[in-house]
């Protein structure tokens, strides 16, 4: 019986490493997607789209591994919380990968020699830096079971949301040039993808707190002002 539990724990640990390794894949995809936007690199954007199969494969790998583990032995207490959290986390990984693909697909649509607005590009770059940092921190928080680092993701998410609104306002006021306006609308969609990546890191943070405390609560919801969520 003791050996069975030991094997179960080892397999669970391996599945956690696989799931968190999926976040490393997301970071690679995110960085390349942002670079393709900054330099209007259609070829690099195509590589991001093609490489999404790696993240999808990781999702299936972890998902099936968890189900197989559950079929062999029913976990209890902390192990059960970890199993539930991993299923949620790997789904977040898959969703973030999809958002990177969505960003990459917008690159050829926005035109090879599209006129650009520096303010919007600067804000996109800052959003990308926040998103990159949030994905890294979400991985570290769950891996170390650090509740404080998990909760800090809410503060960062407030900033990414603010930049998202800033980009939208700038896109509306960008001027009468139709080409710039069209490009700006594509950048609004890019910002929305980055904002969703930030939201998924907060979801992972919530799972971290759940695993540690056994209690699940949303850090923020639709009825909570972002400033209040960050303070809480």
Above 70 in pLDDT, residue 227?
A: no
Q: What is the pLDDT of residue 220?
A: 65
Q: What is the pLDDT of residue 46?
A: 96
Average pLDDT, the chain: 90
State the CB neighbour count (10 A cutoff) for residue 220.
Answer: 19
**What mean pLDDT is predicted for residues 182-202?**
96
Judge whether 141 and 174 are in contact, CB under 8 Å: no
* Per-residue confidence band for 31, with pLDDT thresholds at 50, 70 and 90: very high
Least confidently predicted of 7-21, 41-55, 168-182? 168-182
Least confidently predicted of 24-33, 106-115, 197-206? 106-115
* Measured distance CA(112)–CA(142) in Å, rounded: 40
**What mean pLDDT is predicted for residues 143-164?**
95
Q: Identify the sign of the CA torsion 202, 205, 211, 214.
A: negative
Above 80 in pLDDT, residue 232?
A: no
Q: Which domains does the chain have, with CATH numbers?
A: 2-231 (1.20.58.220)
State the CB neighbour count (10 A cutoff) for residue 227.
Answer: 10
The string of DSSP letters for 78-108 reads HHHHHHHHHHHHHHHHHHHHHHHHHHHHHHH
């Amino acid at each position: 019986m003791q050996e069975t539990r030991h094997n179960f724990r080892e397999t669970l640990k391996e599945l956690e490493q696989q799931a968190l390794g999926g976040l490393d894949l997301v970071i690679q995809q995110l960085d390349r997607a942002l670079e393709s936007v900054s330099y209007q690199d259609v070829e690099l954007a195509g590589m991001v789209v093609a490489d999404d199969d790696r993240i999808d494969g990781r999702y299936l790998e972890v998902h099936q591994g968890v189900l197989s583990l559950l079929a062999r032995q029913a976990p209890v207490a902390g192990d059960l919380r970890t199993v539930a959290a991993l299923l949620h986390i790997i789904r977040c990984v898959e969703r973030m990968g999809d958002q990177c693909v969505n960003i990459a697909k917008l690159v050829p649509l926005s035109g090879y020699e599209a006129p650009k607005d520096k303010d919007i590009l600067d804000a996109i770059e800052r959003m990308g830096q926040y998103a990159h940092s949030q994905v890294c921190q979400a991985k570290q928080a769950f891996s170390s079971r650090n509740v404080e680092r998990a909760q800090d993701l809410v503060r960062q998410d407030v900033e990414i949301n603010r930049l998202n609104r800033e980009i939208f306002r700038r896109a509306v006021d960008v001027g009468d040039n139709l080409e710039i306006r069209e490009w700006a609308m594509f950048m609004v969609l890019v910002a929305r993808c980055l904002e969703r990546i930030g939201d998924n890191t907060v979801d992972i943070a919530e799972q971290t707190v759940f695993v540690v405390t056994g209690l699940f609560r949303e850090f923020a919801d639709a009825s909570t002002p972002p400033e209040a969520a960050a303070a809480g």
